[in-house]
Structure 1
Amino acid sequence: MPPASRTLSDAELAAFKERLCDVAEAMFAQAGAAHVSMRQIAAALGVSPMTPYRYFAGREEILAAVRIRGFERFAGLLEAAHAGTPGSAAAKAAAAGRAYVDFALANANTYRLMFDTHQQGDSADTPLGRAVARARATLSVYGDGLIAAGTPEAEARAMELLIWSTLHGAVTLELAGTTPPGSARETLRLLARLG
């Protein structure tokens, strides 16, 4: 952390907030967010106990920032996979499914914090709520494809939830070590055969 006696540039402020979020994310994932204090985060960063409060009001705000970053990266990858895949709605949905599994397996801590944690702002018109909504919208590509092909909306959305639940379950089981490596991708391959 640069000395407090000088004014930090916007880039330095942003870099420190990112570093703080990186450290907090790892600590939250390891111990659970409720078991990590601001003092512990400060100690891990090698700064005074009050320094994190210059950037965030408290632990919940840091957790929200970590989750926002995760949802934004996740949604961006799914959107890019869907938009960058030529062909049918099924091919686009399969590409988004691959991006989903790839993100979850490569970012296990982030994925767990995104989907296993709920905060007051998850469904509000807040930065966190908007990030959650964007990510959820990226998960609707399968249902959108079914609707475009003539499936009634209620049935399409039910199928969409079934696919998401199955994929989330497969990823969660693999991340927990309950199923062997590659299980989530195999589940995705089987789901693609259904569509």
Structure 2
Amino acid sequence: MSRILSHEDLTRFQSQLCDVAEVMFAERGAENVSMRQIAAALGVSPMTPYRYFANREEILAAVRIRGFERFAGELEQTYASAEGTQHERVMAAGRAYIAFGLGNAHTYRLMFEQGQSDDESDSPLGRAVARARATLSVYGDSLIARGMPQAEARAMETLIWSTLHGAVSLELAATLPPGSAYAVLDMLGRTAGH
């Protein structure tokens, strides 16, 4: 007779499943990974993942939610605890952005390169995406506080984010050498700080 799994057992297994799936999704592409392959990598029966998730899309959403929540938490904590001027606090958040991307390559790629239909909804995934995007708005908020019109400030925010994301992605792909993303941030900081 099998034992009844506790809430902690279930949570632990879901976390392990998401850890394995995250790597597989990032390395092969989510569309190229089956529930059966995830089960095999975990060493469980092919039906076991279905006890926790309805399908691969649910697993991908769970992996991305975890990533967006960790990402947002790190940026929020860094920005809140940074000392100095608004510009120095925004730069600290920028360094945290880069550190997260470079230190969590699989997660970062899935968060920003694998969109899902719920990204813009009021679902748990949509709320995690919105929270992460809100952490990226501190730069635009600072420009608005300094008197820049909102539309222009948001356009600058998008330009800065796109540049930073591009630098992180290129460094992850080894197209740019190590340290390039931080150098780009420093250049952006010198340019935007004036």
TM-score range for the pair, normalised by the shorter chain length: over 0.9
Partners of 1:79 and 1:31 in 2: how far apart? 31
Partner amino acid, structure 1, of 2:159: L
Partners of 1:6 and 1:117 in 2: how far apart? 37
**Map of 2:143 onto structure 1:** 146
1:20 aligns with 2:21: no
**Map of 2:127 onto structure 1:** 130
Partners of 2:83 and 2:173 in 1: how far apart? 34
Corresponding residue to 2:176 among 158, 179, 189 = 179
**Map of 2:82 onto structure 1:** 85
Per-residue Cα deviation, 1:170-191 (whole angstroms, up to 9, x for no partner): 0011001111111001101111
Corresponding residue to 2:153 among 153, 156, 165 = 156
Deviation at 1:88, TM superposition (A): 1.8
RMSD (Å), alpha carbons: 0.8
**Map of 2:165 onto structure 1:** 168
Alignment of 1:17-56 (within 5 A): 17-56=14-53
**Map of 1:193 onto structure 2:** 190
Partner amino acid, structure 1, of 2:179: G
Per-residue Cα deviation, 1:29-59 (whole angstroms, up to 9, x for no partner): 1110000000000000000000000000010
Partner amino acid, structure 2, of 1:178: T
**Map of 2:100 onto structure 1:** 103
Partner amino acid, structure 1, of 2:144: I
Deviation at 1:86, TM superposition (A): 1.9
Alignment of 1:54-93 (within 5 A): 54-93=51-90
Partner amino acid, structure 2, of 1:39: R
Partners of 2:74 and 2:168 in 1: how far apart? 17
Deviation at 1:74, TM superposition (A): 0.2
Determine helix, strand or coil for the equivalent of 2:176.
Answer: coil
Partners of 1:182 and 1:26 in 2: how far apart? 24
Partner amino acid, structure 2, of 1:33: A
Is there any run of 5+ residues in structure 1 with no aligned partner, and where?
none
Partners of 2:124 and 2:132 in 1: how far apart? 12
Determine helix, strand or coil for the equivalent of 1:34.
Answer: helix
Moved over 2 A (4+): none
Count of paired positions: 192
Deviation at 1:5, TM superposition (A): 1.2
Deviation at 1:92, TM superposition (A): 1.2
Percent identical pairs in the alignment equals: 70
Deviation at 1:87, TM superposition (A): 2.4
